[in-house]
Chain A
Amino acid sequence: MAQSTDCVSGTEPAEASDLDLVRLAQAGDADAFGELVERNRRAVFRAALAALGSPAEADDVAQDAFVIAYRKLGSFRGEAAFRTWILAIAWRKALDRRKSLGRWLRLTVDPYAGGESDQSTNWIEQMPESTHSQEDTVAAQQLQQTLRTLIRTLPRKLKDALLLAGSGEYTYEQIGHILGIPVGTVKWRVSEARRLLKEKMAAMGHAYEA
């Protein structure tokens, strides 16, 4: 699981657990909470990104989630990990935003405001390698673009599970906690999303290895 390792405060011991930092933050230590933000910001951001598809909106939601978590810190009993708790808060916040009237209006006016345009391609990754022909590279680019489009058209429940699992940030248990479903259901949704994608790709004429 990826964790942010940079920017650890000089006064805080680097090996302090999240729970220790939560206790300090509950006692009013804002720096300890800042350390918690630093450790979990990427995971929180990517959960919001999976729900919203827009980095700008995901950043806003991640900030809001941390602020809400700080205000509710008194109710955190430590029964679950802090990361799991903050991820659930961020996910709820992202879903609220996804359903909000304002967002719907923005996307109606500007369909690319959601950040789900095909311009998010990482061109550096797609530079032709010496072992690949230019034709292979173009075909791979086209395949990736088609797949991204198909992923966006998946049913939301399947898409959410697939993106969260594919991000590499979370375990299946954490995804189950975020989505409020059992681990088995998470695995089924991911598998179903893949099956649907393959089915659609086959219908479009792409042959693939079984």
Chain B
Amino acid sequence: MKPDTSRKVDLDDAIDRAVRSMMSAEPRPGMRQRVLSRLHETPSRAFSFLRVAIAGVSIAAIALAVALRVGIKPIDVNEPVAAPPQTMTTPPRQQTPVAAAAPNAAPVPVTETARPVMRSQPVARGLVVAQSLMANEEEDSIGAAAIETPGVSPELDPLQVRALPLIQELASPANTIAPIAVPPLVIPELPVITPIQGPIH
């Protein structure tokens, strides 16, 4: 229905009536008895437990989100590649402090053929850290080894170090990437195009 504009209304009066109608409700009868019956009861702790539970669930959700974020960290294609382009082998154990601390541990022979640049960086990082893990080193020294290893980003943060079990799983033999032979890129010679001379019909 369209508003009636043919007559003027006293809006102040109308507003007063609207407010009064919104505030016209009455409390339920028996409030005195209900309040008096509650005066001596002990404060309920149920709500406190509820708040603690909500806080716990929130913290767990945040922790899970952080863990997932570390696990699927986006790869920076501009980051320098840790391995040569054709075949990548893990660096000798003597090159890292971790390897020096555990000379009896066998090196992990993991190789990877040339892959797109986007894949080689995280695999290299994971291998180095996983290698340190297999040498049964302390977590702190693992982090230090990863940071000091040439070719591995020095921005490896503690959260990434704590995600080592995930990286270890990534570096397990079951996940080793089989070598792929990539033929050299051959660019065929293009025919020489001579410009058309004269009018085009």
- Interfacial residues, chain A to chain B (CB-CB below 8 A): 7, 30, 33-34, 37-38, 41-42, 45-46, 49-50, 53, 55, 58-59, 62-63, 66-67, 70, 101, 120-122, 125, 138-139, 142-144, 146-148, 151, 162-163, 166-169, 194, 197-198, 201, 204-209
| B20 partner, pick from A42, A70, A167, beta carbons under 8 A | A167
Contacts of A142 in B (CB 8 A): 1, 3
Instruction: Give B7-31 interface residues, CB cut-off 8 Å to A.
Output: 7-12, 14-28, 31
Contacts of A206 in B (CB 8 A): 3-5, 9, 11
* Complex Cα gap A125–B25 (Å): 14
Q: Does B181 contact A (CB under 8 A)?
A: no
B18 touching A67, Cβ below 8 Å: no
Contacts of A66 in B (CB 8 A): 31, 35
* Complex Cα gap A42–B32 (Å): 11
Q: Mark B17-58, 1 if CB is under 8 A from A, else 0.
A: 111111111111001101110110000000000000010000
A65 to B, closest residue via Cβ: B35
Nearest CB of B to A91, in Å: 14
- Interfacial residues, chain B to chain A (CB-CB below 8 A): 1-5, 7-12, 14-28, 31-32, 34-36, 38-39, 54
A204 touching B3, Cβ below 8 Å: yes
Known: A167-B20, A204-B3. A30 touches B36 (CB 8 A): yes
Q: Which 9 residue pairs are nearest across A and B when measured between Cβ atoms?
A: A166-B19, A147-B18, A45-B27, A208-B11, A55-B25, A167-B23, A66-B35, A205-B3, A37-B32
Contacts of B35 in A (CB 8 A): 33-34, 37, 63, 66-67, 70
Contacts of B27 in A (CB 8 A): 41-42, 45, 55, 58-59, 62
Q: A67-B39, A197-B15 are in contact. List 5 more A-B contacts (CB 8 A).
A: A139-B4, A148-B18, A151-B18, A206-B4, A207-B9
A49 touching B23, Cβ below 8 Å: yes
| B39 partner, pick from A33, A58, A148, A204, beta carbons under 8 A | A33
* Complex Cα gap A201–B12 (Å): 12
* Complex Cα gap A34–B34 (Å): 10
A194 touching B12, Cβ below 8 Å: yes
B14 touching A59, Cβ below 8 Å: no
A208 touching B21, Cβ below 8 Å: no
